[in-house]
Chains A and B, each alone.
Chain A
Amino acid sequence: MTALPTRKAEAWRYADLAALEQLWPLAEPEAITVSAGGDYTRAILNTGGVIRITLTIEAKASATIHVLNASATYARVEIEATLHEGADFTLGGVQIAGGTQTAEIVATVRHIAPDATSRQILRSIAGGTATASVLGKVYVAKGADGTDGQQSMRAMLLDRTATANARPELEIHADDVQCAHGCAIGELDANGLFYLAARGIEPSRAKALMLQAFIAEGLDGAEDNLLAHAQAALEAVL
């Protein structure tokens, strides 16, 4: 891609194009191959800019990537994972955006051979006039029977002026496939906040507790450094 994308391109629909222009042209995606039977984990902390990774997971190999998009003008992470026979892939992603920030995770998981499993657990928090978007696609090729591909996308809006986009997408060409996707955008539960207050917990702390719980699944098993950054980013948006 040489020309700056426009909003007509689906994958860039919610991008901060002004910020992107400053970063253009982007470097080629980082290519990673997890060889057959191997095991790979990666933590990505994006405090600004575009990070792109192309991941090939060979037969019976497994990979786990945790992403934290936080505290940046524009933070975008693109992951494209290709799964061979019996491979396993977990993408856990959290984005915390406040002020005028834009954060986005664009993930494509391609099941090209039988019996591979994948799950995407993506959680967004947006406050102020920030925009947090998640575009996640599961592609299952013809013949990739026994595929199990899960997607869970949830977003929490801290202010009515913030925006969250979540777009799960499935493209399935095989027959014997299990693909589930769930997607929800909401606000902090007022009853829950009052319950915490009624036990003596001050409002900002009550919100932090509920938001920590909200993102926990996305960062389950992530390294401590990422968790500490998530904590700091949460406090910054409250």
Chain B
Amino acid sequence: MTMLTSMLAIENLHASVADKPILKGLNLTINAGEVHAIMGPNGAGKSTTGYVLGGRPGYEVTEGSATFNGQDLFALEPHERAASGLFLGFQYPVEIPGVSNLQFLREALNSQRKFHDLPPLSGGEFIKLAKEKAGLLKMDMDMLKRPVNVGFSGGEKKRAEMVQMGILDPKLAILDETDSGLDIDALRICGEGINAIMRKPDKAVLLITHYQRLLDYVKPDFVHVLAGGRIVKSGGPELALELEEAGYEGVA
């Protein structure tokens, strides 16, 4: 019998930002085909979890481990983590003046392909792919010709992130408050985008969110409550509803 390798296994993770401990013994296992949601109050360490896994400079792992498809995640540089199939969706997507979305995405995709010794996509192949994924998120191709996130509304930035996810086709998406700043229509479009791109047997999603509302569109298999830098309670989708009613203090 072979051991099944989980997609992401986080064990006893401790992490600090500017020498201040934020994560204090986080444990979490995510298998292929699963959607997990981490919920929790402000300051619980939700965003830190995403940044530590993505490898943002300044987020220091002080103890514990994370294994991504059998690999030591923390031994990889941020761009290697991305190329290995980890996608970090940003709560506040960064503006890059002067670099168009299309240039950025083609560069990103071909960098990831190079990492796997695959030839770059031609311009034509790439545009076809970009059109398809932009269509999925109801995003105009003209917007993809504009500089990355510059002058985009909050909702447009989040939809652009989902287009990026569609094009890069990751194994695991960690989505940090993708629902913040979205109106009802954009929330539905993003939710449907996440389902279309990531709800597959060989992929997994970790949603980091304050609210139940995104979970109406992307149904989680597991919900975890993060408080004080560790997971204090786990359950099924009903836990999110409980939290919505009773608040974090009532549940955790």
Give residues in A with beta carbon < 8 Å to B: 189-192, 194-203, 205-206, 209-210, 212-214, 216-217
User: In the bound complex, do residue A195 and residue B99 qualify as a contact, i.e. CB atoms below 8 Å apart?
Assistant: no
CB of B107 within 8 Å of the partner chain: yes
CB of B111 within 8 Å of the partner chain: yes
Cross-interface CB contact of A200 among B83, B94, B99, cutoff 8 Å: B83
Interface of A is mostly: helix
CB of B145 within 8 Å of the partner chain: no
User: In the bound complex, do residue A197 and residue B55 qualify as a contact, i.e. CB atoms below 8 Å apart?
Assistant: yes
A198 smallest CB distance to B (angstroms): 5
B85 smallest CB distance to A (angstroms): 10
B181 smallest CB distance to A (angstroms): 17
Q: Of A189, A200, A206, which is in contact with the most chain B CB atoms at under 10 Å from its CB?
A: A200
Chain B, residues 93-107, CB within 8 Å of chain A (1/0): the string is 111111100011101
Given contacts A192-B94, A194-B57, contact A200 B115 (CB under 8 A): yes
User: In the bound complex, do residue B82 and residue A198 qualify as a contact, i.e. CB atoms below 8 Å apart?
Assistant: yes
Given contacts A195-B94, A195-B96, A214-B98, contact A200 B82 (CB under 8 A): yes
With an 8 Å Cβ cutoff, the count of chain B residues facing the other chain is 31
Given contacts A191-B94, A192-B96, A214-B98, contact A197 B78 (CB under 8 A): yes
Given contacts A197-B55, A199-B104, A201-B111, contact A213 B79 (CB under 8 A): no
Q: Could you tell me the distance between the alpha carbons of A230 and B78 in the complex, rounded to whole angstroms?
A: 28
What are 8 A-B interface contacts by the 8 Å CB criterion? A192-B95, A192-B96, A194-B57, A200-B83, A200-B109, A201-B111, A213-B97, A214-B98
Chain B, residues 51-80, CB within 8 Å of chain A (1/0): the string is 000111100000000000000000001110
Q: Could you tell me the distance between the alpha carbons of A197 and B78 in the complex, rounded to whole angstroms?
A: 6
Closest 7 CB pairs of A and B: A213-B98, A200-B82, A199-B108, A195-B94, A197-B78, A200-B112, A197-B79
Q: Could you tell me the distance between the alpha carbons of A128 and B236 in the complex, rounded to whole angstroms?
A: 55
**Chain B minimum-CB-distance residue to A190:** B57
CB of B164 within 8 Å of the partner chain: yes
Q: Of B99, B109, B147, B164, which is in contact with the most chain A CB atoms at under 10 Å from its CB?
A: B99
B83 smallest CB distance to A (angstroms): 5
CB of B168 within 8 Å of the partner chain: yes
Q: Which residues of B contact A209 (CB under 8 A)?
A: 96, 99, 103-104, 107
Cross-interface CB contact of B77 among A192, A195, A197, cutoff 8 Å: A197
A203 smallest CB distance to B (angstroms): 7
Q: Which residues of A contact B88 (CB under 8 A)?
A: 198
Cross-interface CB contact of A213 among B93, B96, B105, B108, cutoff 8 Å: B96
**Chain B minimum-CB-distance residue to A214:** B98
User: In the bound complex, do residue B78 and residue A198 qualify as a contact, i.e. CB atoms below 8 Å apart?
Assistant: yes
**Chain A minimum-CB-distance residue to B103:** A209
Cross-interface CB contact of B108 among A192, A196, A210, A212, cutoff 8 Å: A196
Given contacts A197-B78, A200-B168, A213-B98, contact A205 B57 (CB under 8 A): no
Q: Could you tell me the distance between the alpha carbons of A209 and B107 in the complex, rounded to whole angstroms?
A: 9
Given contacts A194-B56, A195-B93, A196-B104, contact A202 B98 (CB under 8 A): no
Q: Which residues of A contact B147 (CB under 8 A)?
A: 213
User: In the bound complex, do residue A210 and residue B99 qualify as a contact, i.e. CB atoms below 8 Å apart?
Assistant: yes
**Chain A minimum-CB-distance residue to B148:** A195
Q: Could you tell me the distance between the alpha carbons of A205 and B107 in the complex, rounded to whole angstroms?
A: 9
CB of B211 within 8 Å of the partner chain: no
Q: Could you tell me the distance between the alpha carbons of A190 and B164 in the complex, rounded to whole angstroms?
A: 20
User: In the bound complex, do residue A201 and residue B79 qualify as a contact, i.e. CB atoms below 8 Å apart?
Assistant: yes
CB of B248 within 8 Å of the partner chain: no
Q: Which residues of A contact B164 (CB under 8 A)?
A: 199
